[in-house]
Structure 1
Amino acid sequence: MDEVKKMNEQANTPTTLLIGVLGVIILSAHVDSGGSATAEGDWSLMAYIYERKAGVLNRFICGGSLINNRWVLSATHCFQTPNRNLYRVRLGEYSRSVTSPNEQDFGVSKLVLHASFDPVAFVFDIALIKLSGAATINQYVSPVNLVDAGRCTDPTPNFPVDACYTLGWGNTAAGNTSNTLRKVTSYILPHRLCKSHTEQHVAKYGNRPVLYKCEAKFCGGYNRYEDTCQGDSGGPLVCRHSDNQYYVHGILSYGTKPCGFGLPGIYTSVAVCRGWISRMMTP
């Protein structure tokens, strides 16, 4: 399994954590140079979504969040086809180069892509995956809370420094997907700043500015030393609430291309999509 897992896994991924020092992008040869390191079991909510071909792992696609023992939350644009049989989900993943007894692999029994997803504007970039079986909940695999339902007109959540993170295995400064799960500190930006940044740098955002507060999107990140990148798509932006538990606020949808400009990533709002999530999570 180790040979199959490592030799067939390709870094051809849709959207980690690129880091710059003193505003200069460091082209380090060290694969894990982006963001901050995590330890195995730190983020038991993370799902590793991959494609299989002829029954064998073909390539890593996106991240996701386990929200109960049967369902994973991710992004619609991660799935090039609605054929659920092409995908698998691994829970308890930490290092892509090591097969751990803490991992749990599942097929996909149901793949729900948002019917209103716009592949041009990337609006409603949200997806749900029903696992082929129930996950065993333990210290390495456990669901995360979802933020309460809200309206697009609600005030922007305000969290203290180091309360919110984005998680993923995406590209680092070396240009390769990270071998281990990493995190970047993320801030949820007020809409006026989000609009300003995405309008000013519209070409870098693939001509997808966030113009209206009710687009069910928001900006997160904006730390000039760190950035999300290709491969982080579908992963969560989580924030620690006053009860000391983490809640998913956003699903990483897209960012600047190339990454590394210290500009915010664009996230699908979980609060605005809570009604859809509840309706789609059918037995």
Structure 2
Amino acid sequence: MKYLCFAIISALNVHLIYGTDECGISHYKRPNSNIAGGREARKGEFPWMISVQVRNLGDPGHQHYCGASVINRKWILTATHCLRGIDAKDLQIVAGAHDIKSWTDHMSRHTVEHMVLHPDFDDKTGLNDIALIKVKQEFLFEEKSQWLVNSVCLPKEGYSPRESLGTAVGWGRKSDKGALSKILKTVDLPILKQDDCRRLVGYDFLKDQEFCAGGQHDKDTCTGDSGGPVTQIIENRAVLVGITSAGLGGVPCGSAGWPAIYTDVSKYIHWINEHID
């Protein structure tokens, strides 16, 4: 299995979200059109986007490893496969980033207080690929961060994001052999019906706690996007409906007819609340 990372946005029904008073609000509006294969995100367009960075072995500093999403002032949501075998002291959480190679005053570094990996994560199938990180230093929202940091809303338990359009976000590679992007990128992806996806990836492979999106040539998430958000717009707010989990082993990123797999956040709302309340 090939693990990845990302985020998603579209129009849905009402009364299906919860979170902080300001959750899911971006003060930097999206342009009306996308270029083929995606585009650079605007600075501050996705203020819940986090760069999870790992200390370089034998070298000072950290490098981007996975994405994550701010869900309140102390907690972020990511993928379990991003954190397995990694010591919390070797992680750096960066908020407010756009160009991850260029530090600005509006970016903030956070250390990890506590990690919660899903206990039933299956390394072979990728099932239950969801994890929480609690940071020691609170995230600053609204004016204090120049609106470059904010939380994303969560869906109500049981909400289905399928048969909608989504927007993937991350600093991942453009292709399997390409370098990580230093600028945050975004791309719109269709979220498939469950049965349609199972016909492509296998009926025994895709579980109810997952969904797939993409399958269009050159539009995909890739290595370095894992753990990032999949959002949809509900009542003019971005709602975290999925977490970038995995691509299909042996299939290059952006291959037509081959979608990637995402964790369905609505299936884990009870688990999330158990740990952040």
TM-score by length of 2: 0.79
Partner residue in 1 for 2:64: 60
Partner residue in 2 for 1:273: 268
Amino acid at match of 1:244: N
Size of the alignment, in residue pairs? Answer: 239
- Contact 1:48 1:91 survives alignment (8 Å): yes
Partner residue in 2 for 1:240: 233
2:63 and 2:236 mapped to 1: Cα distance? 35
Partner residue in 1 for 2:246: 254
Structure 1, 263-272 or 52-61: larger mean CA deviation = 52-61
Partner residue in 1 for 2:75: 71
Partner residue in 2 for 1:20: none
2:100 and 2:71 mapped to 1: Cα distance? 22
Structure 1, 92-101 or 173-182: larger mean CA deviation = 173-182
- Contact 1:16 1:227 survives alignment (8 Å): no
1:166 is aligned to 2:168: yes
Which runs of structure 2 are paired with 1:208-223 in the superposition (5 Å)?
209-210=205-206, 212=207, 214=208, 216-223=209-216
Which runs of structure 2 are paired with 1:3-152 in the superposition (5 Å)?
15=4, 35-53=38-56, 56-81=60-85, 83-138=87-142, 139-150=147-158
Partner residue in 1 for 2:31: none
Partner residue in 2 for 1:4: none
Gaps of 5+ in 2: 7-35
Amino acid at match of 1:251: I
Give SS of 2:61's match.
strand
Q: Which has the higher contact order (CA 8 A, sep 6+)?
A: 2
Give SS of 1:253's match.
strand
Give SS of 2:65's match.
strand
TM-score by length of 1: 0.78
1:14 and 1:252 mapped to 2: Cα distance? 8
Task: Tell me the CA shift for residue 35 of structure 1.
Answer: 2.1
Gaps of 5+ in 1: 1-12, 18-32, 201-207
Partner residue in 1 for 2:259: 264
The structure-2 alpha-carbon separation of the partners of 1:16 and 1:155, relative to structure 1 and needing over 3 Å to count, comes to: closer
